[in-house]
């Protein structure tokens, strides 16, 4: 198969982890006779510096004319502590999600057998965890009206959802549940928020179309607690943008490190694959960041193309590196650790 992949390395550790994913993908292409043409493009602070805009039109053109997008990370500390900054790298990410119509962010949470005892959570709680969050990605408070009033003394962000936005996300949730254990949890705050009541009402109406799926409705605060207490009780969870952002960071603790969790953003046509972690500026350029979340995002990309054998080859080699202790310092626990680039080389060589 011939694939054109837009390669958006972004900021911070983005370029380093993306490099390792490229090595791994190229090794897969060699082994299985595929051809990837990588199409690098600018995003984030790097794009602001180069052209004054975090998601330039040229980058968008490259994305829409590719078969998929592989994305690193976005964000730079020089913007975080400057509330008056007019353009921010994160705006690029949000604009990209919106313009590419990526309304569903698929974030799986699973455990790695060799890492279970490294989790701060007890083995008996987390063993066998295999759940998927479907986070709504182009609506809610991230995209609502916001601003200041009263001469800057009052600030507001508004959360808005339309029924059709809920339907298209929930539909993906029901469909995914049908391919798994047929359990769906709708996470909301319907005891307080009107948008949550719309979510709940909409999902309730859809239940009749999926009679085999057992749906539960839980408040987000309760899910935050139960997720680390009884992760095994969940399978597919659907939720709005901000709740999904927060809960998926929390869920990464179950796997052992934020540096392990991949994601796929899907929607109207093209899909984008990205690690759930951020740009981790403290580690940028040091060759110490964990590349596995990005490598596993590349595995999700092969799955997205229907190339499951290739995807499994990546997941297997990642498991093997964890078993053999070929890991970056976030996972080495005082034992010998490997550089980001060394982990990438090892993975590519062992495919």
Sign of the C-alpha dihedral computed for residues 285, 323, 295 and 137 taken in this order? negative
Catalytic member of 32, 98, 99, 249? 249
Give the whole-angstrom CA distance, residue 69 versus residue 66.
7
Residue 136 touching Mn ion (CB under 5 A): no
DSSP 41: -
Distance between start and end Cα atoms, the chain: 18
Closer to ligand IPM by Cβ: residue 281 or 325: 281
Say how many CA atoms lie within 13 Å of 28 toward its Cβ.
30
Catalytic member of 245, 273, 280, 315? 245
Closer to Mn ion by Cβ: residue 20 or 252: 252
Reading the block at residue 346, the tokens are 């090892």
CB-count burial class (<10 Å; 0-12, 13-18, 19+) for 164: exposed
CB of 41 to ligand IPM, least distance (A): 18
Reading the block at residue 105, the tokens are 């962010």
- CB under 5 to 8 A by kind: which of Mn ion, ligand IPM, none does 131 bind? none
CB of 292 to ligand IPM, least distance (A): 17
Specify whether 303 is catalytic.
no
Give the whole-angstrom CA distance, residue 184 versus residue 243.
16
CB of 186 to Mn ion, least distance (A): 20
Q: What are the Cα distances from residue 29, in Å, to 1, 292, 303, 307, 317? A: 9, 18, 14, 11, 15
Residue keyed to tokens 């003394």? 153
Contact pattern from residue 244 through residue 263 relative to Mn ion, giving x for each residue in contact according to CB under 5 A and a dash for the rest: -x------------------
Catalytic member of 189, 210, 234, 235? 189
Backbone phi, psi, residue 174, to 5°: -60, -45
CB of 269 to ligand IPM, least distance (A): 20
Specify whether 287 is catalytic.
no
Contact 343, 20 (CB under 8 A): yes
The closest residue (CB) to Mn ion is 245
Specify whether 221 is catalytic.
yes
Within 8 A by CB and 6+ apart from 193, the residues are: 159
**Scanning residues 217 to 246, which ones bind Mn ion (CB under 5 A)?**
245
Q: Contact residues for ligand IPM (CB under 6 A)?
A: 74-75, 90, 93, 245, 276, 278
CB of 350 to Mn ion, least distance (A): 31
Strand 68-73 versus strand 2-10 pairing type: parallel
Residue keyed to tokens 């007019």? 86
Closer to ligand IPM by Cβ: residue 82 or 201: 82
Closer to ligand IPM by Cβ: residue 235 or 245: 245
Per DSSP, what are the bridge partners of residue 6? 39, 69
Query: CA-based diameter of the chain, in Å?
Result: 63
- CB under 5 to 8 A by kind: which of Mn ion, ligand IPM, none does 90 bind? ligand IPM
Catalytic member of 82, 221, 286, 324? 221
Closer to ligand IPM by Cβ: residue 66 or 241: 241
Closer to ligand IPM by Cβ: residue 39 or 76: 76
Contact 131, 255 (CB under 8 A): no
CB of 76 to ligand IPM, least distance (A): 11
- CB under 5 to 8 A by kind: which of ligand IPM, Mn ion, none does 259 bind? none
- CB under 5 to 8 A by kind: which of Mn ion, ligand IPM, none does 284 bind? none
Q: Which residues bind Mn ion (CB under 5 A)?
A: 245
Residues noted as catalytic: 142, 189, 221, 245, 249
């Amino acid at each position: 198969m011939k694939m054109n992949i837009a390669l958006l390395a972004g900021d911070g550790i983005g370029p380093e982890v993306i490099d390792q994913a490229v090595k791994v993908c190229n090794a897969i292409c060699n082994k299985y006779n595929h051809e990837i043409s990588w199409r690098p493009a600018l995003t984030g602070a790097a794009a602001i510096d180069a052209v004054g805009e975090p998601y330039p039109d040229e980058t968008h053109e490259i994305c829409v004319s590719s078969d998929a997008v592989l994305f690193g990370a976005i964000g730079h500390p020089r913007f975080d502590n400057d509330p008056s900054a007019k353009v921010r790298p994160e705006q690029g990410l949000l604009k990209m999600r919106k313009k590419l119509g990526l309304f569903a962010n698929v974030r799986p949470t699973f455990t790695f057998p060799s890492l279970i005892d490294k989790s701060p959570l007890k083995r008996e709680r987390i063993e066998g965890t295999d759940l998927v969050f479907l986070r709504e990605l182009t609506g809610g408070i991230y995209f609502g009206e916001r601003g200041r009033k009263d001469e800057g003394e009052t600030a507001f962000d508004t959360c808005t959802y339309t029924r059709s936005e809920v339907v298209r996300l929930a539909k993906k949730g029901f469909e995914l549940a049908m391919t798994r254990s047929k359990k769906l949890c709708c996470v909301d705050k319907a005891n307080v928020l009107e948008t949550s009541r719309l979510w709940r009402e909409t999902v309730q109406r859809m239940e009749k179309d999926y009679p085999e799926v057992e749906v539960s409705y839980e408040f987000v605060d309760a899910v935050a607690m139960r997720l680390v207490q009884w992760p095994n009780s969940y399978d597919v969870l659907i939720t709005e943008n901000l709740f999904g952002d927060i809960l998926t960071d929390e869920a990464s603790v179950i796997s052992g490190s934020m540096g392990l969790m991949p994601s796929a953003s899907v929607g109207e046509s093209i899909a984008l694959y990205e690690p759930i972690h951020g740009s981790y500026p403290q580690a940028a350029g040091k060759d110490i960041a964990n590349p596995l979340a990005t490598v596993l995002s590349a595995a999700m990309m092969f799955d997205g193309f229907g190339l499951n054998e290739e995807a499994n080859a990546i997941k297997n080699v990642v498991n093997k590196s964890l078993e053999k202790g070929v890991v970056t310092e976030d996972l080495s626990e005082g034992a010998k650790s490997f550089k980001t680039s060394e982990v990438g080389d090892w993975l590519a060589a062992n495919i």
